[in-house]
């Protein structure tokens, strides 16, 4: 099996019997072993993946109808559940836990003949920007092993970057699909909030959480979204908006009006090469006859505080269910019920998760609720309105995905505030609920990938994919 290009091509070659699906799966299983030092997979489903490959190969031979994702070898972030499989959210607190059911997105992959090859490392409960907050150790960036993978879906991005599988499902609450995608030079989509059912996703911040897709190219990404998006009777928060055939409509059919946010490019924290790469894309778009204009967004400084106040509040509530009573880790040396709760949570959660639970509990406390939580909700509304005003005039907003390329392991771990700044460009899409994608946009002097982010108005994934595809092929 050669290097992977696209699912369409793979399916064609499988039909032409150039190789068998079993040999494809074996290839990936071997790659996972060879590149084990990257620390990508927490569990590899070797037996099941091979069995499914055999089964699908027979289906192909028998001339039976094949699923849309036939042959897709995909990995899933360790926050998505599958019946009788372990899931840990990269935390010690879920030690020994196995899910009793399969989540909707994962089930839909399986129903369309994808092969799930394993569960992928991440930051604990998806809280982090470097994959260093995992109870199972950090994932390494394949471009340079001394650099972080990004987070929290870091391993899901490295898996695609290093060719350990064809695509991954991650999650994006504040940038966790797009930021690692940028650090690893792959495509990462965060869809519109509510586009994909979250049944079977371990919750972090429920009014922000989205399942997202990491892939090598736009076409695969679009095809996967087409399969997993849409109404689901198990999730009352999912939208029933019709799901278009995203992958069949990738042509850009008009000249566009594109906005870029002046403040993002003037930011002092922005690495000069990222600024240059972004500006040169904008120039190229102008040269192609698109209208590219600068807009100001006065609320840039309010994005991170709004995000961190609301997500910690929601996380402190969501994570209260991990108490050592019903499942997962339970401390052994306890005297009574209260010390059992306290010790289990103290020992089971990592430092960053505890920090967020405490912050969230504080902003929700009676004395401070109005000052923080209520205020942040109001600011969220203003940011939404301001963003909508831009989308009333422009098709897309372009900005860098991240202020820097992948940083060295260990450099930001002890400084949470600096780590939070990593999300400065990605959280807007989560605060307002709109879709956004990160695509590769060259490399910096250290040869590390740079990401370009495109944001669109809600439910405009089709247009977003078409534009991203156009840019990637430019």
Q: Indicate which residues carry an active-site annotation.
A: 77, 152, 176
CA 291, distance to chain mean position in Å, is: 30
Of the pair 127, 165, the CB lying nearest ligand GLN is at 127
Across-strand partners of 451? 440
What is the rounded distance in angstroms from the CA atom of residue 440 to the CA atom of residue 186? 6
Closest approach of Cβ 396 to ligand GLN, in Å? 21
What is the rounded distance in angstroms from the CA atom of residue 237 to the CA atom of residue 422? 28
What is the rounded distance in angstroms from the CA atom of residue 129 to the CA atom of residue 412? 10
Options 56-64, 172-180, 228-236, 329-337: segment touching ligand GLN (CB under 6 A) = 172-180
Q: Is 336 helix (H, G, I), strand (E, B) or coil?
A: coil
Of the pair 26, 355, the CB lying nearest ligand GLN is at 355
- Options 71, 75, 103, 128; binder of ligand GLN; rule CB under 6 A: 128
Of the pair 153, 264, the CB lying nearest ligand GLN is at 153
Give helix then strand counts, H and E, for the chain.
Answer: 17, 11
59 is written with which tokens? 């289906």
423 binds ligand GLN (CB under 6 A): yes
Tell me the CA distances in angstroms from 383 to 169, 311, 390, one per residue in order: 28, 16, 11
* Strand ranges inside 287-393, DSSP E: 291-295
Q: Is 451 helix (H, G, I), strand (E, B) or coil?
A: strand
The neighbour count for residue 447, using CB atoms within 10 Å, is 9
403 binds ligand GLN (CB under 6 A): no
Across-strand partners of 168? 75, 214
Options 120-128, 371-379, 396-404, 457-465: segment touching ligand GLN (CB under 6 A) = 120-128
Instruction: Give the DSSP letter string of 206-236.
Output: TTT-EEEEEESSHHHHHHHHHHHBS--TT-T
Report 339-398 residues binding ligand GLN (CB under 6 A).
Answer: none
239 binds ligand GLN (CB under 6 A): no
Q: Which residue is nearest to ligand GLN (CB)?
A: 176
Closest approach of Cβ 422 to ligand GLN, in Å? 6
Report 303-342 residues binding ligand GLN (CB under 6 A).
Answer: 311
Closest approach of Cβ 279 to ligand GLN, in Å? 26
Options 35-43, 168-176, 226-234, 236-244: segment touching ligand GLN (CB under 6 A) = 168-176
Closest approach of Cβ 75 to ligand GLN, in Å? 17
- Options 132, 172, 232, 314; binder of ligand GLN; rule CB under 6 A: 172
Closest approach of Cβ 427 to ligand GLN, in Å? 7
Number of residues that bind ligand GLN (CB under 6 A): 14
Across-strand partners of 215? 167, 187
- Options 121, 129, 134, 139; binder of ligand GLN; rule CB under 6 A: 129
CA 20, distance to chain mean position in Å, is: 30
Quick check: 276 and 308 in contact, CB under 8 A? no
What is the rounded distance in angstroms from the CA atom of residue 106 to the CA atom of residue 94? 20
Sole residue written with tokens 């996703």 = 201
Of the pair 148, 218, the CB lying nearest ligand GLN is at 148
**307 secondary structure, DSSP code:** H
Binding mask 194-213 for ligand GLN (x = CB under 6 A): ----------x---------
Of the pair 156, 176, the CB lying nearest ligand GLN is at 176
Of the pair 154, 230, the CB lying nearest ligand GLN is at 154
* Strand ranges inside 48-206, DSSP E: 73-77, 115-120, 167-172, 187-190
Closest approach of Cβ 172 to ligand GLN, in Å? 5
138 binds ligand GLN (CB under 6 A): no
- Options 29, 93, 106, 126; binder of ligand GLN; rule CB under 6 A: 126
Sole residue written with tokens 């199972």 = 136
Closest approach of Cβ 308 to ligand GLN, in Å? 7
175 binds ligand GLN (CB under 6 A): yes
Report 144-163 residues binding ligand GLN (CB under 6 A).
Answer: 152
173 binds ligand GLN (CB under 6 A): yes
Of the pair 127, 166, the CB lying nearest ligand GLN is at 127
Q: Which residues contact 342 (CB under 8 A, 6 or more apart)?
A: none
Q: Cα–Cα–Cα angle for 453, 399, 303, nearest 5°? A: 100
127 binds ligand GLN (CB under 6 A): yes
Of the pair 174, 449, the CB lying nearest ligand GLN is at 174
What is the rounded distance in angstroms from the CA atom of residue 315 to the CA atom of residue 354? 10
Quick check: 179 and 148 in contact, CB under 8 A? no
The residues of the shown chain that bind ligand GLN, judged by CB under 6 A, are 126-129, 152, 171-176, 204, 311, 423
């Amino acid at each position: 099996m050669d290097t992977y290009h696209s699912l369409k091509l793979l399916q064609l070659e499988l039909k032409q019997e150039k190789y068998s699906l079993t040999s494809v799966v074996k290839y990936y299983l071997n790659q996972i072993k060879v590149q084990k030092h990257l620390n990508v997979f927490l569990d590899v489903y070797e037996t099941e993946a091979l069995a499914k490959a055999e089964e699908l190969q027979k289906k192909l031979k028998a001339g039976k109808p094949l699923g849309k994702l036939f042959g897709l070898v995909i990995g899933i972030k360790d926050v998505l559940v599958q019946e009788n499989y372990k899931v840990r959210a990269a935390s010690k607190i879920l030690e020994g836990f196995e899910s009793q059911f399969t989540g909707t997105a994962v089930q839909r992959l399986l129903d369309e003949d994808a092969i799930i090859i394993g569960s992928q490392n991440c930051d604990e409960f998806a809280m982090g920007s470097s994959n260093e907050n995992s109870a199972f150790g950090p994932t390494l960036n394949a471009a340079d092993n001394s650099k972080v993978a990004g987070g929290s879906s870091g391993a899901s991005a490295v898996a695609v970057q290093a060719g350990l599988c064809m695509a991954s499902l991650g999650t994006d609450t504040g940038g966790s699909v797009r930021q690692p995608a940028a650090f690893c030079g792959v495509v990462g989509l965060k869809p519109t909030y509510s586009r994909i059912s979250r049944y079977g996703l371990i919750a972090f911040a429920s009014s922000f959480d989205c399942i997202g897709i990491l892939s090598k190219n736009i076409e695969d990404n679009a095809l996967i979204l087409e399969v997993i998006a849409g109404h689901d009777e198990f999730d009352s928060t999912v939208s029933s908006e019709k799901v278009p055939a995203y992958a069949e409509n990738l042509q850009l059919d008009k000249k566009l009006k594109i906005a870029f946010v002046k403040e993002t490019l003037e930011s002092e924290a922005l690495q000069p090469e990222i600024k240059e790469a972004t500006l040169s894309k904008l120039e190229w778009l102008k040269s192609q006859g698109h209208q590219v204009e600068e807009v100001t967004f006065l609320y840039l400084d309010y994005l991170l505080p709004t995000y961190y106040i609301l997500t910690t509040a929601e996380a402190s509530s969501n994570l209260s269910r991990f108490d050592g009573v019903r499942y997962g880790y339970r401390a052994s040396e306890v005297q009574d019920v209260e010390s059992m709760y306290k010790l289990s949570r103290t020992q089971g959660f990592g430092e960053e998760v505890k920090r967020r639970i405490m912050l969230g509990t504080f902003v929700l406390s009676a004395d401070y609720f109005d000052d923080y939580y209520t205020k942040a909700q109001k600011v969220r509304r203003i940011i939404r309105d301001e963003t909508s005003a831009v989308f009333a005039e422009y098709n897309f907003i372009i900005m860098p995905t991240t202020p820097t390329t992948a940083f060295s392991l260990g450099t930001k771990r002890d400084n949470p505030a600096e780590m939070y700044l990593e999300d400065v460009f990605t959280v807007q899409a989560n605060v307002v609920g709109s879709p956004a994608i990160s695509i590769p946009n060259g490399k910096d002097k250290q040869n590390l990938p740079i990401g370009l982010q495109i944001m669109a108005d809600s439910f405009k994934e089709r247009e977003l994919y078409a534009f991203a595809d156009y840019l990637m092929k430019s």
